[in-house]
Structure 1
Amino acid sequence: MILCDLTSHSSVFPARARAKPVSVRFAPVAGVVNTLEGPVAYSEGDAIVTGVAGEQWSVARERFHHTYAAIFPTESGQDGRYVKHPHDVLALRLTKGCAIHLADGRGTLHGRAGDYLVQYRPGDCAVVAAEIFDDTYER
């Protein structure tokens, strides 16, 4: 397991998320989404996001409204197309596999060598497959 605070890691680099459109549906009930990195539990009302390569992940509803904007004609809070606000992150290319345990026991993400560990803020990380990172982030 890696503790997700990349601020002092020597191989970390800054990256910026690109504003790529995604499809979003809001969960009517709690459940589990099968991400590329492993199953992750979500709560009723959370956003289930489908990305550029058909990959899916969940975002807590409160956080979703701070990080994504609806694309017309979708209205905020409705299922439809959204774009993530561009934002800066820290990234680390994994040289070996790892497991990241998510907060609140929601699941464990499994990264492979070559994938990226992306830190949004200390303690808030995701694993992103290399080909998806290359399409959705810029150094």
Structure 2
Amino acid sequence: MKLLDLSIILMIVGILLIIVSFFFKNNAKKVEQDVEELSISIFQETNNLKRRLKIVEEELLLEPEFQVKSNSAQNNMQNPKVQQVIQAVQQAAQASKAGQGSPQTKNIHQIIVSQVLELNKQGLSVADISIRSNLTEEQVRQVISNGGR
């Protein structure tokens, strides 16, 4: 009789627990929804940062007068890669200033030369390469004919 009472009590407790579980909200769905909202938010922020970075890159390529301020130059001394990039940009700006009088004598930066050669290998036309590299078509032809020398 005691065994029968114990099994009946366990069945009643199990049924009660099943009924009570229907009344509690499922927290997994809320957590899943929060994670989804967070991932959408991160995706939007990433896209915003990419757009801003693209705008900054375009401004740096379009502004030959770009100069680094002295107080930020002290911070950049710690990172040699940043220093190399700054020097390359400044050299390109100086070459742009020096070559404004005659486009034939303009000193073309090695990065642009390698970009022109790579675009030529990809089969782009001289006009397309000229647009992408901000060089005249004559300069592009000259770089291709010289093989980058």
TM-score w.r.t. length of structure 1: 0.22
Q: Which has the higher helix share?
A: 2
Higher strand share: 1
Greater relative contact order: 1 or 2 (C-alpha under 8 angstroms, separation 6 or more)?
1
